[in-house]
Amino acid sequence: MALGGYTSNHNVIYFRKYHVVWTPKYRRSVLVGEVANRCQTPLRQVAAKYDAEKIALALMRNRVHLLCEVGPPVGVPRLVKNIQGSSFVSTVGERL
């Protein structure tokens, strides 16, 4: 049983929160309107697939901020790789 915001997983107790930021090339303002709405779905789907707790998500005109908690078996590199491999990147690329 974990206390104070810590999470337990069988034999591990952890407190891993990551702030991940994506930016389009040259920080162009492409994340507006329909593109911003379409970017949220893949982020939520991949986070749910890897049991990542999405704490906060902010889509701005030229960047995406994601604050999440990921367990030790998955890790943040795998989560970011799968988010970038999803339709998130192709959605942003359509507007460039």
The CATH number of the domain holding residue 23 is 3.30.70.1290
The mean pLDDT value for 40-51 works out to 83
Q: Are 54 and 44 in contact (CB under 8 A)?
A: yes
Q: According to the model, what pLDDT value does residue 90 have?
A: 52
pLDDT at residue 80, rounded to an integer: 84
Residue 10 lies in a domain: no
26 domain residue, yes or no: yes
Residue 95 has pLDDT above 70, yes or no: no
| Domain-located, residue 5 | no
Beta strands 17-22 and 63-69 are: antiparallel
Instruction: Assess if residue 40 is contained within a domain.
Output: yes
Q: Is residue 11 part of a domain?
A: no
Above 70 in pLDDT, residue 50? yes
How many angstroms separate the CA atoms of 96 and 87, rounded?
A: 15
* Section 48-55 average pLDDT: 84
pLDDT at 92 over 80: no
Is residue 57 pLDDT above 70, yes or no? yes
* 48 within domain boundaries: yes
89: containing domain: 16-94
Q: Are 69 and 52 in contact (CB under 8 A)?
A: yes
